Amino acid sequence: MLLGIAIAAAGLIVMGAVAIWSPPTSEIIGAMTFTNLFFGTVVSMSIGYAAGYGHALVIAVNMWIETVVVVVFYPVFVLSVRKLAVFPLLKRFIERTQAAAELHHDKVRRYGVIGLFVFVWVPFWMTGPVVGSVIGYMLGFPAWLTLSVVIAGAFITLLVWDYILFGIFSRAAVFGPWAAVLIISLIIFFIIISYLLNRRGEKHKS
């Protein structure tokens, strides 16, 4: 957890330095950070490319966010499950993440480390580094192995989306700013609908 906080602090210091040098760039970094946390990597990267920024900034910012989230959440989850600490504000999120991990646990267990890596790498709904880190814990993997596999999978996912999204927004720029806004709006709409359908499915099962 301390490592995650240190990485987060380092990123914020860099963001502060960028704000002095280029306020618009700092604002985009903030926007990508916010959207990554609430809507996911695809929206975050889309905002970066729609604003005209290149691979270096967009990928670096999202790699930083994914690393911080995983490295901070994993120990929080472990401490919570072992009843060593209580995190009231994160209780619902931890419970939902655990439920999602239990849903995919058996599928990943068949293939071990490779299965965990593929689970994190495949960019579908309710897969990803946070759920993957919980599955790694359930499988009994050491913390270093779980975090290494999960972060590696997350980084490769970023590179896949980078290739797809950069091409999309490069072509969309020909039609004007409204095209990029439309694409991002549609992505967010799809994510919200998927979230609502997933919640409805969970309530139906319960």
Query: Residue 97: which residues within 8 A CB-CB, separation 6 or more?
Result: 73, 77, 130, 131, 134
Question: In angstroms, what is the C-alpha Rg of the chain?
Answer: 18
Spatial separation of the C-alpha atoms in residues 191 and 23, rounded to whole Å: 29
pLDDT of residue 124: 55
pLDDT along the chain (206 residues), means of 10: 78 82 90 89 90 90 92 91 85 84 83 86 67 90 92 90 87 84 87 74 58
The residue extents of the domains of the chain are: 2-205
Phi, psi for residue 14 in degrees, rounded to 5 = -60, -40
- Dihedral over Cα of 69, 75, 77, 79: its sign: negative
pLDDT of residue 126: 52
Q: Which amino acid is at 62?
A: N
CB 47 within 8 A of CB 184: yes
pLDDT of residue 98: 85
CB 101 within 8 A of CB 135: yes
What is the reported pTM? 0.83
Spatial separation of the C-alpha atoms in residues 17 and 23, rounded to whole Å: 9
pLDDT of residue 125: 47
pLDDT in tens, 135-185: 999 999 999 999 999 999 899 888 888 888 888 888 888 888 888 889 888
CB 47 within 8 A of CB 25: no
